[in-house]
């Protein structure tokens, strides 16, 4: 065991000595790697990330003990039913909403400005024309453009929302990488992060996505209540018209026969009065139902608490350029050391063998 340890120590020391003898070459390779790293670092475009967070209001307005137990069980993948909210769209589905085709295509026309150019232009134009690529991606971009010219777009899409062009699919796939939404299952906090090569554009799109998500959820939550309000308004207008007609008919008949005391006229007058009172009762009940529907609309309208508003990031989220250069320099030196240890040159092998023979 001691002999094996000595041999191992001797081998490690020998490898270190080999590398030390060739330290100039190692430094040279490291310098070359650092130069390559500088070129790579300045070729990779910087990306900035702007984040926003908000907490939704649940429709139940609070949770009972059974709702709390159901929520706790759902975090472990067990469905006990009886959740605090009866909504079909709950916070766990918000990332799917943001990554949907319709939602991302609605961002095409959002006006954005950049730090270098305050002139507003669409987000579609900004991503399509102003995004930079590293130099090794240009062959792929050129090939993609050549393929677009070679392959015609699918036909039959005019006026058909079910057909999406090939170019739109590529843009949607790129938008899904730039706009990311996540939900904390414990706290239900919604986090939206937008990645962009310009910090001002990233903050603007993050704020737009947050606002449009709120509008989407609000529209879903209040859609049924708005339909009910419109329905009760129509009923109220019809009830009001019928009551006015019955009242006018009653007044006209009473004025025309006010001097008559015949039983038949009195019976007809009571009949018209009863009909007027019935129409009035229907009118007041319908008015009450409309007020209840309006109160239901207010109850169903969600209130989102903005925990963190989107701001312009000061530092890029990508790796610093100096770190990239250092990593490449270390990689170059490590590659040279590995070559010296494991792949020595033939001349040095012969020199070592000659030296060992002369020593003998």
**CB under 8 Å to 272, separation ≥6 — which residues?**
246, 249, 250, 253, 254
- Residue 155 — very low, low, confident or very high, per pLDDT cuts 50/70/90? very low
Strand 121-122 to strand 111-112: parallel, antiparallel, or no bridges (unpaired)? Answer: antiparallel
When pLDDT is averaged across residues 165-191 and rounded to a whole number, the result is: 87
CA torsion 91→93→99→102, rounded to 10°? -100
> What integer pLDDT is reported at residue 207 of this predicted model?
93
> What integer pLDDT is reported at residue 112 of this predicted model?
92
Task: Report how far residue 238's alpha carbon sits from residue 261's, in angstroms, rounded to the nearest whole number.
Answer: 34
283: its two tokens: 């009118």
- pLDDT of 202 higher than 90: yes
150: its two tokens: 């070679």
Task: Report how far residue 56's alpha carbon sits from residue 187's, in angstroms, rounded to the nearest whole number.
Answer: 10
Task: Give the predicted TM-score (pTM) of the model.
Answer: 0.68
- pLDDT of 104 higher than 50: yes
CA torsion 59→62→67→70, rounded to 10°? 70
Task: Report how far residue 314's alpha carbon sits from residue 316's, in angstroms, rounded to the nearest whole number.
Answer: 7
E strand or H helix at 305, and its extent? Answer: strand 305-308
Other C-beta atoms within 10 Å of 131: how many? 14
Instruction: Check: CB of residue 52 under 8 Å from CB of residue 308.
Output: yes
135: its two tokens: 């130099």
Closest CA to 285 of 318, 325, 236, 227: 236
Measured distance between the N- and C-terminal CA atoms of the chain, rounded to whole angstroms: 28
> What integer pLDDT is reported at residue 13 of this predicted model?
77
pLDDT in tens, 28-60: 888 888 888 888 888 888 899 999 998 876 654
* DSSP-assigned states of every residue in 197-242: SSHHHHHHHHHHHHHHHHHHHHHHHHHHHHHHHHHHHHHHHHHHHH
Local structure of residue 328 (DSSP, 8 states): H
């Amino acid at each position: 065991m001691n002999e094996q340890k000595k041999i191992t120590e001797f081998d490690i020391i020998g490898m270190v000595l080999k590398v030390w003898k060739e330290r100039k070459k190692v430094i040279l390779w490291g310098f070359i790697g650092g130069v390559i790293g500088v070129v790579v670092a300045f070729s990779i475009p910087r990306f900035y990330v702007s984040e926003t967070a908000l907490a939704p209001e649940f429709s139940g307005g609070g949770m009972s003990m059974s709702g709390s137990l159901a929520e706790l069980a759902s975090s472990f993948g067990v469905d006990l039913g009886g959740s605090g909210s009866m909504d079909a769209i709950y916070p766990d589905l918000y990332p799917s909403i943001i990554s949907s085709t319709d939602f991302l295509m609605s961002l095409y026309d959002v006006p954005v400005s950049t730090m270098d150019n305050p002139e507003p232009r669409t987000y579609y134009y900004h991503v399509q024309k102003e995004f930079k690529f590293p130099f090794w991606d240009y062959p792929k971009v050129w090939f993609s453009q050549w393929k677009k010219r070679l392959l015609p777009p699918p036909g039959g899409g005019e006026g058909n929302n079910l057909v999406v062009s090939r170019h739109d699919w590529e843009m949607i796939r790129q938008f899904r990488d730039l706009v990311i939404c996540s939900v904390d299952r414990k706290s239900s906090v919604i986090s939206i992060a937008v990645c962009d090569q310009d910090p001002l554009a990233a903050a603007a799109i993050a704020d737009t996505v947050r606002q449009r998500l709120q509008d989407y959820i609000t529209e879903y939550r209040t859609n049924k209540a708005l339909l009910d309000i419109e329905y009760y308004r129509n009923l109220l207008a019809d009830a009001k018209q019928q009551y006015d007609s019955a009242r006018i008919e009653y007044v006209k008949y009473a004025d025309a026969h006010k001097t008559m005391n015949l039983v038949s006229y009195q019976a007809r007058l009571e009949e018209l009065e009863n009909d007027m009172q019935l129409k009035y009762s229907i009118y007041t009940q319908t008015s009450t139902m409309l007020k209840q529907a309006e109160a239901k609309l207010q109850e169903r309208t969600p209130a989102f608490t903005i925990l963190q508003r989107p701001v312009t990031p000061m530092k890029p989220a990508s790796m610093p350029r100096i770190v990239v250069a250092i990593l490449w320099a270390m990689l170059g030196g490590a590659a040279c050391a590995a070559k010296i240890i494991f792949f020595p040159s033939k001349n040095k092998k012969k020199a070592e063998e000659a030296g060992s023979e002369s020593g003998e």
